[in-house]
Amino acid sequence: MQWSKLKKTIESRFASSIGGKIHLFSTQYGCQCGRAWITYNGEQIANFETLVNLRRIHVHREEIDERGQLVIDEATRVPGELMSRGELNRWDLHKACWDYLNMSVPEALSSENPVIQGLAFLDQRAGKRRIALVDTKDLHPLPKKLLEIRILEDKLERERSFALPSR
């Protein structure tokens, strides 16, 4: 499936409160590497740099897990940073999106992949009550931020729906 179709399909599953506010992007450069990113209200909140990721794995020989992703020591993570630079690459986002299409919401919410888990928090099928019960203390920073955005936007949408029309 082409990226444009995959992106459109994933974004069409987002809850109405965040529809049009969170977008997925991907670009490829001539060297077959590229980057992908996630924006919220036009501001980049996550960056998936392929070249930096490959350099960390193949040049610096940093440790990877069974999924082929870098192992990040949480003690070294910069506070407020959703992902360490090069932690995930463009292909990781594409694969996570593809895998997510073939999962149920409960499977996605319990996934070890932070991108899949984050997409599940944005999904309209993940009800407000279900996501309100999520324990955030052990969440990766990326899905944690996406969960916070979903909860905030759901609250704002609810407040707008109760606002009296002005005359």
**CA angle centred on 29, ends 24 and 34, rounded to 5°:** 45
pLDDT tens-digit series, residues 133-145: 898 888 999 999 9
Q: Which pLDDT belongs to residue 64?
A: 66
Range of the domain at 133: 3-162
pLDDT value at position 73?
Answer: 64
In contact, 21 and 153? CB cutoff 8 Å: yes
Does residue 57 fall inside a structural domain? yes
pLDDT-derived band at 89, boundaries 50, 70, 90 = confident
134 in a domain, yes or no?
A: yes
- pLDDT, one tens digit per residue, over 22-52 is 999 999 887 667 889 999 999 999 988 877 6
Answer whether residue 36 is part of any domain: yes
| 2 DSSP assignment | -
Average pLDDT for the chain: 84
* Domain count within the chain: 1
Distances (CA, A) of 122 to 40, 116, 151: 12, 10, 9
In a domain? residue 17: yes
Which residues partner with 36 through β-bridges? 26, 48
Residue 46 is assigned to a structural domain of this protein: yes
13: tokens are: 């599953």
CA angle 56, 116, 92 (to 5 degrees): 30
Report if residue 167 sits inside a domain: no
